[in-house]
Amino acid sequence: MGSFQSLPDDHPYRTLSQKTGFSLEQIAILHNRFKQLSQNEETLRRDDLQTIQDLESNPIRYEIIEAFFDKRNFQKDDVGSVDEIGFEEFLTVMSYFRAPAHNITEEQKEEMRRAKLRFLFNMHDTDNDGTITLEEYRHVVEELLSRSGALGRETAKGIADAAMLEVASISVGPMAPDEFYEGITFEHFLKILKGIEIETRMHIHFLNMDTTVFCKHHSA
């Protein structure tokens, strides 16, 4: 009874599952969450995400919310940002945070790493010119230090400058005084974050079983 009933529901999930790599249960749970956030509407808006209480104290909440509405993250080779997203886009963004499966090859691991780093890069590169300029980087550091008031803003500049210098010297090497370092490109970005194992660190644990709400209690 139940399984026959759920088959039509699973069909859209199946394609989603293949596309994003989540399991069917995980998709169901995330769908519930989506509905909860969007107040049972079909699309999610920025305001819906802004009302989440846990995000209040997060210094980079605007960037996080923006990332959900950034077309570059929808894996469709599109640019720009939208005002509302559907469940598919929501899930696609979430899929960046999946843990690598146990038995993937080195190439798949490398691919996953690039995808995750691309996501991070997009978060910083707000004007989508392919580089993270000094201004954008400064903005990032300022946000991180946004809780420290005046001191944060002052020192943020210095820290961002220092970090930029470091990237420049690692990526480009010695530069003549009249050369100008445009910004951090994606390749440089990959280089400086080589030391951090992104594919394992950038993941959250997606539940397989919904502990808060019982799933599949719709139409009997």
Partner 1 sequence: MELKMFILVLGLLVGSGSPDIGPNQGKCSDSLDPGPQDQGNHTLTPQSKKNFPVLSFGYDHVRLPFEISLWVLLASLMKLGFHMMPRLSSIVPESCLLIVVGLLVGGLMKLVAEVPPVLESKIFFLYLLPPIILDAGYFMPIRQFTENLGTILMFAVVGTLWNAFFVGGLLYGVCQFEGHRLVNVDLLSCLLFGSIISAVDPVAVLAVFEEIHINELLHILVFGESLLNDAVTVVLYHLFEEFSSVGTITVMDVFLGVVCFLVVSLGGIVVGAIYGLLAAFTSRFTSHTRVIEPLFVFVYSYMAYLSAEVFHLSGIMALIACGAVTRPYVEANISHKSHTTIKYFLKMWSSVSDTLIFIFLGVSTVAGPHEWNWIFVVATLILCLVARVLGVVGLTFVINKFRIVKLTSKDQFIIAYGGLRGAIAFSLVYLLNTDHFPKRNMFLTAIITVIFFTVFVQGMTIRPLVDLLAVKKKQETKRSINEEIHTQFLDHLLTGIEGICGHYGHHHWKDKLNRFNKKYVKKCLIAGERSKEPQLIAFYHKMEMKQAIELVESGGGSKLPSAVPSTVSMQNIQPKKSPQDRALPQLSKAREDEIRKILRTNLQKTRQRLRSYNRHTLIADPYEDGWNEILIKRKRMMELEKKISQMNNYLTVPAPAPDSPTIARARLASDPQAWGLKSLTESIPTIKVDLASPQSPESFNMVDEIGKKGSQSKASEEEDGLTMKVPSMTKPRKDKTANEDDDKEPQQRLMRCLSDPGPAGEEDEEDEPFLH
7 vs 64, beta carbon nearer partner 1: 64
User: Nearest 10 degrees: CA dihedral of 172, 177, 179, 184?
Assistant: 40
Residues 111-140 that bind partner 1 (CB under 8 A): 120, 123, 134, 140
Q: Which of 7, 79, 104, 162 binds partner 1 (CB under 8 A)?
A: 162
Angle separating helix axes 61-68 and 106-124, nearest 10 degrees: 120
Taking the C-alpha atoms of residue 92 and residue 19, their distance in angstroms, rounded to an integer, is: 8
Neighbours of 56 (CB within 10 A): 9
Using CB under 8 A as the binding rule, the residues of this chain from 23 to 82 that contact partner 1 are 30, 33, 36-37, 49, 52-55, 57-61, 63-64, 68
Answer whether 65's CB lies under 8 Å from 49's CB. yes
Q: For residue 144, state whether it binds partner 1 (rule: CB under 8 A).
A: yes
Question: In the complex, what is the shortest distance from the CB of residue 19 to partner 1, in angstroms, rounded to a whole number?
Answer: 19
One of 4, 80, 180, 219 touching partner 1 (CB under 8 A): 180
The least distance separating partner 1 from the CB of residue 92, rounded to whole angstroms, comes to: 13
Q: Does 147 help bind partner 1 (rule: CB under 8 A)?
A: yes
- Displacement of CA 16 from its chain's centroid (Å): 18
Question: In this structure, what token pair is assigned to residue 195?
Answer: 């030391």
Quick one: which of 3, 174, 217, 220 contacts partner 1 (CB under 8 A)?
Answer: 174
Chain CA centroid to CA 173, Å: 30
CB of 1 to partner 1, least distance (A): 29
Name which position in 24, 82, 115, 163 contacts partner 1 (CB under 8 A): 163
CB of 90 to partner 1, least distance (A): 9
Determine contact, residues 145/153, Cβ cutoff 8 Å.
Answer: yes
* Contact stretch for partner 1 (CB under 8 A) within 6-14, 17-25, 74-82, 144-152: 144-152
Q: CB-based contacts of 138: which residues, under 8 Å, 6+ apart?
A: 156, 157, 160, 161
Q: What are phi and psi of 95, to 5 degrees?
A: -70, -15
How many chain residues touch partner 1 (CB under 8 A)? 72
